[in-house]
Structure 1
Amino acid sequence: MPELPEVETIKEDLRGLVVGSTVEWVEVSQPALVEGPSVEEFAGRLRGARIAGARRRAKHLIVELIGGDSLVLQLKIGGQLLLVPPVAEPETAVMLVLGLDGGRRLFLRDETGFTRARLLDAGELEARLSSLGPEPLGEGFDAGHLKGVLGGRRVQIKPALLDQKVVAGIGNIYVDEILYDAKVHPRRKANTLSEGEWAALHRAVRENLRAGIEHRGTTFDLYRDVLGRKGHHQDHLRVFVRAGRPCPSGCGGRVVKEKVGGRATFYCPSCQREDGFGGEQGLELGVL
């Protein structure tokens, strides 16, 4: 957290609220935030810059500046960008403040302290993003992409989908929901999936990420948009953090929590069979 839908929501907020503003002053409260260049050069190049645009690549939030530089933020677990006013000035965990024209201030805060920032020129930005896979809501992510990249590999499907070189922007919350929708067990080996399962995964990726954006992200604890508001997608999750509850499909199973690839993972063992015979496939073959 934040994952693609949360970063996309923040990006759209920035487009509507701060693009066109000038950065009049810069205060770096936590030097560990800045991974490059030096803190002094970082602040100096930001000071006086005009914000030309905002975009997202994977989980990277990119604030474009006139002149070619980009402020690139990875919000990691708990990063928040808050515009003051109208948001009340945060009193704790502030890492960076950008003083904007008109008396407004953009606060970057993170209770976990893991957020990181870089100020990159065009060439550095291209190099930074070059290893990322296609955007899952873009044209480059078609129905054959996942099978083409993963179909011959004996890797567990959940860690594979979390690999940003395979597809960009999916994190732990959304991958569990995607696998649930596609009725694929998180430990299934990629090379055992059928054509229908690859198609179901492709469809589930797009539908779940679009729903997350529509609901302005998922808030369990720290995530907020630029105006300090929580997301609503947590009210629409079916399996994530639902361990012990009945499967919402009505299959009679219950959601379980296990570690897969070192990550907390939630799924329905009845719908998402590790042998690959869950859901409609199992019914068709007489396994269930």
Structure 2
Amino acid sequence: MPEIAEITRIVHYINRHLAGKTIKNVVANEDAIVFKDTTASAFTKAMLGKTVVQAKQQGKYFWIEMSSPPHPLMHFGMTGWITFSKAPEAHYRADMAEDESKEDIEWPPRFMKFVLEMEDEGNNVAFTDARRLGRVRLIDVAADEIRKVSPLKENGPDPVVDGLEEGWFRGVLNKRKVPVKALLLDQSFISGVGNWVGDEILYHARIHPEQYSNTLSDAQQKQLYDSTIHVCTTACSVLGNSSKFPEDWLFKYRWGKGKKGNALPSGEKIDFVKVGGRTSAYVKTRQKATGGTAVKAKAGGSDEDGAEEIKGVKKRKAVKAEEEDDDDYEKEEVPAKKGKRGPKPKTEDGEAKTPAKRGRKKAVKVEEPGSEEEEEEDKEEVKVKSSRKGKAKVKEEVVVMNGKGESDTPSGRRSRSSRLKK
């Protein structure tokens, strides 16, 4: 998912290739999901003939300031991106080598939602999104008011654009009792921190992702603050180009999630655990829980498989990374097929109940409980009838009456199951 550094990259290329240029044509595909609170036709009308002033960002959001309102505000979701016809290098992704990104691209690109054609020939840009989780909005306010309206006004500060005040940062940590990784992912706390950035921050701060934010020591709070500024600033300074990230970053070794055995160059294993609904990468030998956690850590701060959650919640096993395709994969519950039986209900004694089948019940009315010989005769009679059908198991229902013609049991019936040999 594009995070703060990837958005910085896109903002950089928009300013480099579009600023000061006028839009001569707009092609937009109707998509009621991607176009939020607007339509493709309204977007086309709002952009046509306008001049691009500049692009800006707040965390994972970015917008293009136009010569007049409304201004397009965008969010990439999981797979959104801006494709530049004249800047193929802007297509760089974390899993792509720099030279691969310079190959020729098809135009218009697949999964295109809109294309802006600029006045200078061949200088076009397209918003693409394969999974349709991105959003395109029109914000009809003055450019300097954009951050004061939804959805930006609900977001926390951008650690690079706005900076972070350390006292405020520590105050939030002390007030909130949530796993620290989940807090970092909360966009109302800090804008732009996503899954890999959050993992990198905690790795450098040497903090376990499941430790509660309000249990961090003063030293840990300082480490977390410094790491947040360092990781975000460093990643944005190289426009999210991971080939330029420092070699000691977790980012270099975390991908693949266990399929080939993730480890640092030192040989220390990289493990994965689910925190805040996301798969988190961490190194047990360096990131030990020193305070309360969502999962009770064993001695030494590790969270071995089978660690028990607090407050009597069921045990859980550490996330097996090889069972997941990507950081945001969630397994769906598969409904049972018709004709498939679920687990058999159990009696109070814990034995499985076998529901009676049609035509298998035999109600026998007797005046008094019979002798053992009479019961055996009844069994033999049932056995003969059952054997004709090739059945081996019979269940009888016996109504026991007393001498007055009344039921001798509270319910009036008594069930007896017999297992007979052929």
Q: TM-score, normalised by structure 2?
A: 0.58
In structure 1, how many angstroms separate the alpha carbons of the residues matched to 2:236 and 2:286? 26
In structure 2, how many angstroms separate the alpha carbons of the residues matched to 1:86 and 1:4? 20
| Corresponding letter in the other structure for 2:75 | Q
In structure 2, runs of 5+ residues without a counterpart are: 89-104, 293-299, 303-422
In structure 2, how many angstroms separate the alpha carbons of the residues matched to 1:151 and 1:121? 38
**Which portions of structure 1, spanning 4 or more consecutive aligned residues, are displaced by more than 3 angstroms?**
85-88, 231-236, 242-248
| Corresponding letter in the other structure for 1:203 | D
Spell out, residue by residue over 1:152-189, the C-alpha distance to the aligned partner (whole angstroms, 9 max, x if none).
32211000111011111100011001000000000001
Aligned length: 267
The question of whether the paired residues in 2 share the 8 Å contact of 1:30 and 1:94 is answered with no
| Corresponding letter in the other structure for 2:270 | V
2:135 to 116, 130, 145: 116
| Corresponding letter in the other structure for 1:172 | N
In structure 1, runs of 5+ residues without a counterpart are: 220-230, 278-285
The structure with the largest alpha-carbon Rg is 2
1:142 paired with 2:165, answer yes
1:100 paired with 2:128, answer no
In structure 2, how many angstroms separate the alpha carbons of the residues matched to 1:38 and 1:86? 28
1:245 paired with 2:268, answer no
In structure 1, how many angstroms separate the alpha carbons of the residues matched to 2:39 and 2:14? 25
Structure with greater helix share of residues: 1
> Relative contact order (alpha carbons < 8 A, sep ≥ 6): 1 or 2 greater?
1
How far 1:131 sits from its partner (Å)?
1.1
1:164 to 169, 187, 195: 187
Corresponding residue for residue 101 of structure 2: none
Change (3 A) 1:10 1:191: same
Mapping of 1:81-230 within 5 angstroms? 81-85=82-86, 87=88, 88=105, 89-103=107-121, 104-122=123-141, 125=146, 126-128=148-150, 129-138=152-161, 140-217=163-240
Change (3 A) 1:210 1:6: same
How far 1:276 sits from its partner (Å)?
4.7
SS of residue in 1 equivalent to 2:175: coil
| Corresponding letter in the other structure for 1:4 | I
Spell out, residue by residue over 1:41-94, the C-alpha distance to the aligned partner (whole angstroms, 9 max, x if none).
221111111111110011111100011321111011111212223543244211
How far 1:239 sits from its partner (Å)?
5.5
Q: Percent identity?
A: 26
SS of residue in 2 equivalent to 1:2: coil
Corresponding residue for residue 397 of structure 2: none
Corresponding residue for residue 26 of structure 2: 26
| Corresponding letter in the other structure for 2:114 | L
1:264 paired with 2:265, answer no
SS of residue in 1 equivalent to 2:149: helix
In structure 1, how many angstroms separate the alpha carbons of the residues matched to 2:10 and 2:199? 23
Q: TM-score, normalised by structure 1?
A: 0.84
